[in-house]
Structure 1
């Protein structure tokens, strides 16, 4: 699997999101190892991920990643819709906007940049709605 398409804010916990991830498909077992493998070790070791049960209904309960097994927890909490939480234990948690795999390049680029901006105060759902409205005429 190629490297994850990922943009992270310089520090966690400054806004509703800590960055964005643009998976190539909706199969978590294929995409998660690349995501976890692309993270800087200084950001912590991902032990568990929390995903939206509606967005990932068939997600496996564990995923094999480089040199470890990652637990996958399904959540129905509205705050986590359109997002994935990377739980790094004592180091902290990273909440990332999940950009739909079929999103246009222009919209995905805007979403990646905006979600990684430490001044961003938009939620995942709000960002996706803005991207949809702003890029609806780009041929999708």
Structure 2
């Protein structure tokens, strides 16, 4: 499995996001195993993932990964778009911005860095909107 393109906030959660993930494609069953593996949960730890069903075509209910089955749930109405939540039991829980796979590399790098910045209070939707206007770095300190 390729190494996931992932940036996490150091040490503790700081706000609406704990980092960002830039998958290579929109096939969750191909991308999720390497993401979960990089978070290093114990093989006996139950892993639950919540995703925005509009973002992942044909969202599976489970995804097979080496040594485990990952339970996948769809976010309910009102769930935040472009976000994935991973609950890895005692290892931790992460809420990540999902950078669209087709995002240009430069924009994706800025989004990964901004989402992992402990001083960034922005939501996923706000960060993506700012990235579209090329103003992400200008307003990283603004409050939602």
Instruction: Judge same fold: TM > 0.5, yes or no.
Output: yes
8 A Cα contact 1:10 1:118, kept in partner: yes
- Quickly say closer, same or farther: Cα 1:73–1:25, change in 2 above 3 A: same
Deviation at 1:20, TM superposition (A): 0.2
> What SS does the corresponding residue of 2:133 show, helix, strand or coil?
helix
Q: Distance in 1 between matches of 2:22 and 2:46?
A: 18
Between structures 1 and 2, the one with greater helix share: 1
User: How far off its partner does 1:40 sit?
Assistant: 3.9
> Aligned residue for 1:123?
123
Distance 1:79 1:123 in 2: 12
* Equivalent pair of 2:27/2:57 in contact (CA under 8 Å): no
Q: 2:64: which partner in 1? A: 64
Structure-1 separation of matches of 2:79 and 2:98: 13
Aligned residue for 1:80, secondary structure, equals coil
Name the structure 1 match of 2:108.
Answer: 108
Structure 1 pair 80–115 and aligned structure 2 pair: CA distance change class (3 A): same
Offset of 1:96 from its aligned partner? 0.3
Question: TM-score, with normalisation over the residues of structure 2?
Answer: 0.84
Q: Cα offset for 1:7?
A: 0.3
Instruction: Report the Cα distance in structure 2 between the residues aligned to 1:76 and 1:30, rounded to whole angstroms.
Output: 23
Aligned to 1:5: 5
Give the Å deviation of 1:19.
Answer: 0.3
**1:134 aligns to what SS in structure 2?**
coil
Separation in 1 of the partners of 2:16 and 2:46?
Answer: 19
RMSD: 1.8
Note the C-alpha offset of 1:109: 0.4
Counterparts of 1:38 and 1:90 in 2: how far apart (Å)?
Answer: 15
Q: Shift of residue 77 of structure 1?
A: 4.0
The answer for the alignment partner of 1:28 in structure 2 is: 28
Deviation at 1:21, TM superposition (A): 0.2
Gaps of 5+ in 1: 136-140
The one-character-per-residue Cα deviations of 1:3-25 (angstroms, maximum 9, x if unpaired) are: 10000001343110000000000
Compared with structure 1, are the counterparts of its residues 46 and 81 closer, same or farther at alpha carbon in structure 2 (3 Å cutoff)? farther
